Each structure stands twice: as structure tokens, then as C-alpha cells.
Amino acid sequence: MFQVLFFIEVGALAKSDAALQRTEPSETRWLLSFDALRNSIQDVAHKAYSYRRRAFYTLTAADFR
């Protein structure tokens, strides 16, 4: 068993969540945004992992087209 880490830049979450763009973000708002985007995040992570296998990935706003 092994572990693969995925990091998501805050810009990727903010790009997809209008509320984060309009207000001062809080930890709660970031977590709500992450939960709302979970399926999309998993799709992007799967695509990145299947393209090239590494120990960690950083997903950016450009990955979420």
C-alpha cells in the first residue's frame, strides 16, 4: 500500500466558487468549497495521476478548465 498526496492551490478553489471571490474567505468557506467541488477534484486528480505517476501533485486553477 502506498500514499499519493494531492495539494490544491487556493486559487483553484476560489476560481470555482463565486462566494470566495466576493468575500473574505474563512476556513469554513474553504472547506465548504472543497466539499462542493469534491467530484471535480477527484476527476482532475485521477486524470493527473493516470498521466504520470508521482508521489505528490499540486492541482492549480489551470487544471480545472
pLDDT tens, the chain, 65 aa long: 789 999 999 888 887 776 676 777 788 888 888 998 899 999 999 999 998 888 999 999 899 87
pLDDT score of 44 = 94
**How many angstroms separate the CA atoms of 61 and 58, rounded?**
10
Alpha-carbon distance of 5 to 19, in angstroms, equals 27
Give the H or E element holding residue 5.
Answer: strand 5-8
